[in-house]
């Protein structure tokens, strides 16, 4: 297994920390994000989220200018909070920083405390500050750090029969699928964050500034007294793990597993639920698992021709890599914009010799990814839309998954988790390989045997 580090990024394979925070806070009931920084930052977030989820996305901004940069943005932030509360009447305001606010040393905790004391309208609002400078990490760290800050701010000691589910950065449709699985085990749960409706709402003639749905404040409070936490994040560390905080602070047992994509990872999710509840999986899961095995048998002879480049957020890259390895596809290249060593550690542990020739690059960019793609004879790309330029330049097909998908519709409805979702995802990969094979195999055959 080769490993490479990149110091200079051109067209980086990542987005900044506030982007991850923006997605996380959309999973809270009646929540809005206040971004302390220049107005362009919030515009950038809204654009990416609106084109991926095909939903209106409002993000407030303190709109720092040159004057605020020099003299401090205190007045801008307080004025922005005041206007946001009057306009949206939120239950929760997430206050995150940007590169500019962090660089000039803004203390958002102090400013929020002052605002609470000064403004009567702040009395019914929960404020959750999160430091998210763009240079401090990627959307991966911003997402999970925001979840941890939510739990740190609100979780309380107690005792109940609920199970906490700390969800990864999944699609709204995948969150709905997680709920279906949980409900089949007849358990009460706290799901954080819940974007199943807030970022994929049913059609309505009545526009709501803050859509229905989302994890409630009461649910987060009860997380400190739950009987267990299942955290969908195998690569997390203490800095970004809400599950570790709940275990350390309140003694809630932690089960950390990968995103449930691929046979082994879905098995882990189902088995953990069975262990916690004492219930056996319903027949429908056993049958779905059998159908997945049957599908793997059907398609492995085609997948053996696949050499994939997988890119995106680390958790998704790891789970997709395991799906490929289970089905005979060589993960020739695994690439992420985040900095992580656990990706290599987990793959070595789980697959040993199967990944000896896999190249893993972190903190990387798409120029570097493209160089490796061509050197490693990759014939399929798996990742989000930002990799499409490799398809445009080199003709290698892209299977779109993850965030953002902004050149196709339906990104918010894609389901790649669970047995059924994994099968559909595998079929898409296999059919992409078949399409590539049959689109030009006659031409290649004639060139090989009849040219000259």
Which two tokens mark 441? 């195999």
Which residues are registered as beta bridge partners of 3?
360
The overall longest dimension of the chain from CA atoms, in Å, is 85
> Quick check: 273 and 181 in contact, CB under 8 A?
yes
- Side by side, the strands of the sheet bearing 163-166 are 189-192, 163-166, 228-232, 254-257
Taken in order of first residue, the domains within the chain and their CATH numbers are: 2-6+299-443 (3.40.50.1980), 17-136 (3.40.50.1980), 163-277 (3.40.50.1980)
> Quick check: 333 and 369 in contact, CB under 8 A?
yes
pLDDT tens per residue, the chain (452 residues)?
555 544 567 788 999 999 999 999 999 999 999 999 888 888 888 999 999 999 999 999 998 877 767 666 889 999 999 999 999 999 999 999 998 888 888 999 999 999 999 999 999 999 999 999 988 899 999 999 999 999 999 999 999 999 999 999 999 999 999 999 999 998 999 999 999 999 999 998 998 999 999 999 999 999 999 999 999 999 998 899 999 999 999 999 999 999 999 999 999 999 999 999 999 999 999 999 999 999 999 999 999 999 999 999 999 999 999 999 999 999 999 999 998 888 888 888 877 656 677 999 999 999 999 999 999 999 999 999 999 999 999 999 999 999 999 999 999 999 999 999 999 999 999 999 999 887 766 566 566 656 65
Nearby residues of 117 by Cβ (< 8 Å), 6 or more positions away: none
End-to-end CA distance of the chain: 40
pLDDT at 356: 73
List helix spans (H) across 262-341.
263-277, 283-303, 314-326
Concatenate the DSSP letters of all residues of 118-130 into one string. Answer: H-GGGTT-EEEEE
Q: How far is CA 80 from CA 85, 104, 161, 196, 203, in A?
A: 9, 18, 40, 28, 30
> Quick check: 340 and 362 in contact, CB under 8 A?
yes
> Quick check: 38 and 80 in contact, CB under 8 A?
no
3-state helix, strand, coil in the chain (%, to 5): 50, 15, 35
Q: How far apart are CA 149 and CA 130, in angstroms?
A: 7
- Side by side, the strands of the sheet bearing 2-5 are 2-5, 359-362, 330-335, 307-311, 380-383, 398-400
> Quick check: 303 and 329 in contact, CB under 8 A?
yes
Q: How many helices (H) and strands (E) does the chain have?
A: 17, 14
* Cα dihedral sign, 136-141-146-149: negative
Which residues are registered as beta bridge partners of 232?
257
Residue whose C-alpha is closest to residue 336's, from 298, 383, 372, 299 = 383
Task: Say how many C-beta atoms besides its own lie within 10 A of residue 152's C-beta.
Answer: 14
Which two tokens mark 75? 């007045």
Task: Say how many C-beta atoms besides its own lie within 10 A of residue 109's C-beta.
Answer: 12
Q: Is 69 helix (H, G, I), strand (E, B) or coil?
A: helix
Q: Is 363 helix (H, G, I), strand (E, B) or coil?
A: coil
> Quick check: 175 and 194 in contact, CB under 8 A?
yes
Q: How far apart are CA 417 and CA 173, in angstroms?
A: 10
Which two tokens mark 179? 């709920």
Which residues are registered as beta bridge partners of 253?
none
């Amino acid at each position: 297994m080769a490993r490479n580090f990149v110091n200079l990024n051109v067209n980086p394979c990542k987005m900044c920390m506030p982007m991850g925070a923006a997605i996380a806070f959309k999973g809270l009931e009646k929540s809005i994000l206040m971004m302390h920084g220049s107005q362009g930052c919030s515009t950038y977030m809204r654009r990416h989220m609106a084109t991926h989820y095909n939903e209106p996305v409002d993000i407030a901004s303190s709109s720092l200018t040159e004057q605020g940069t020099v003299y401090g943005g205190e007045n801008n932030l307080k004025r922005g909070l005041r206007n946001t509360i009057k306009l949206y009447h939120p239950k929760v305001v997430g206050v995150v920083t940007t590169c500019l606010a962090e660089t000039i040393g803004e203390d958002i905790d102090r400013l929020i405390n002052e605002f609470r004391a000064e403004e009567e309208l702040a009395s019914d609002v929960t404020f959750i500050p999160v430091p998210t400078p763009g240079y401090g990490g990627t959307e991966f760290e911003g997402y999970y750090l925001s979840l941890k800050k939510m739990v740190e701010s609100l979780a309380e000691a107690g005792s109940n029969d609920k199970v906490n589910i700390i969800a990864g950065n999944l699609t709204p449709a995948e969150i709905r699928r997680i709920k279906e699985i949980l409900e089949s085990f007849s358990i009460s749960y706290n799901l954080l964050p819940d974007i199943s409706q807030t970022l994929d709402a049913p059609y309505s003639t009545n526009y709501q500034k803050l859509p229905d749905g989302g994890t409630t404040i009461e649910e987060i409070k009860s997380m400190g007294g739950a009987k267990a936490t299942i955290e969908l994040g195998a690569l997390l560390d203490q800095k970004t793990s809400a599950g570790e905080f709940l275990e350390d602070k309140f003694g809630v047992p932690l089960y950390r597993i990968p995103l449930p994509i691929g046979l082994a990872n879905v098995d882990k999710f189902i088995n953990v639920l069975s262990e916690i509840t004492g219930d056996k999986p319903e027949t429908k899961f056993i049958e779905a698992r059998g159908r997945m095995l049957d599908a793997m048998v059907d398609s492995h002879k085609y997948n053996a021709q696949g050499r994939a480049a997988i890119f995106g957020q680390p958790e998704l890259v790891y789970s997709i890599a395991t799906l490929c390895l289970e089905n005979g596809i060589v993960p020739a290249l695994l690439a992420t914009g985040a900095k992580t060593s656990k990706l290599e550690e987990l793959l070595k542990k789980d697959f040993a010799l199967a990944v000896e020739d896999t190249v893993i690059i972190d903190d990387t960019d798409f120029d570097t990814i493209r160089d490796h793609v061509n050197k490693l004879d990759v014939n399929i790309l798996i990742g989000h839309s930002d990799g499409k330029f490799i398809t445009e330049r080199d003709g290698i097909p892209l299977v779109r998954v993850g965030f953002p998908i902004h050149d196709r519709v339906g990104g918010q409805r894609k389901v790649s988790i669970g047995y059924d979702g994994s099968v559909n995802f595998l079929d898409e990969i296999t059919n992409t390989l078949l399409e590539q094979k049959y689109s030009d195999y006659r031409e290649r055959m004639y060139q090989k045997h009849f040219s000259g």
